[in-house]
Structure 1
């Protein structure tokens, strides 16, 4: 998959128009269109902006790594902070504290 295809996939998977992404990146819509059709390559500065915006690596955009290869080392607090509900029920701050304590205890005591 080319860099242009990866950019287009990220944009469409995030339900964004070319206009919206171009505005975020500070470039013209036609420039973004040329990136997506592989008629132009983004500068390193724009490449970094795209990677930062979509939380992917520049290596992924350049085809050096698959998205599945990326590792996000979230702390327990960061991971639990993203949980809003479980099986349709809201997760309270108390629930998150209990989950954190259980997870930390499990990780400390495994083998």
Structure 2
């Protein structure tokens, strides 16, 4: 049986996928017609998004809805193992996430 993700894990997932798309809360709010404080509440776990909002968030982040609503064990059963491992690692280790962001933002050298 599949378990629903706990609220703080849901908020971390929503934050992770928003940041992965390099979107601000304001941009997501404009795209979805929601106030920034509402989205921030979802990410902090003080507000609970409706199923419709979760589906819209998944659409905005271009991910399957399961990535947001399943707990870690169920997520590993639904998505490819290597994807699940990367997602879970980023969610657990903000230091690695920051390192990847720094690498992505590092100027590319022209190789000829």
Conserved? CA contact 1:2–1:62, under 8 Å:
no
- In 1, Cα distance between the equivalents of 2:59 and 2:23? 16
- In 2, Cα distance between the equivalents of 1:60 and 1:22? 20
One of 44, 52, 75 as aligned partner of 1:45: 52
Per the TM alignment, residue 6 of structure 1 is displaced from its structure 2 partner at its CA by 0.6
RMSD of aligned Cα (Å): 2.1
Per the TM alignment, residue 18 of structure 1 is displaced from its structure 2 partner at its CA by 0.7
| Greater helix share, structure number | 2
What SS does structure 1 have at the residue aligned with 2:26?
A: helix
One of 51, 59, 75 as aligned partner of 1:65: 75
- In 1, Cα distance between the equivalents of 2:46 and 2:58? 19
Match of 2:36 in 1: 29
Can you list the C-alpha shifts for 1:19-46, whole angstroms capped at 9, x where unaligned? 1111111111000000000111111111
Per the TM alignment, residue 55 of structure 1 is displaced from its structure 2 partner at its CA by 2.0
- In 2, Cα distance between the equivalents of 1:57 and 1:5? 16
Give 5+ residue unaligned stretches, structure 2. 1-7, 81-110
What SS does structure 2 have at the residue aligned with 1:2?
A: helix
Question: Which of 1 and 2 has greater Rg?
Answer: 1
**TM-score, length basis structure 1:** 0.56
Q: How many residues align?
A: 70
Per the TM alignment, residue 54 of structure 1 is displaced from its structure 2 partner at its CA by 1.6
Larger RCO (alpha carbons 8 Å, 6+ apart): 2
Q: Does 1:54 align with 2:61?
A: yes
Give 5+ residue unaligned stretches, structure 1. 71-87, 89-111
- In the TM superposition, structure 1's runs of 4+ consecutive aligned residues that sit over 6 Å from their partners are none
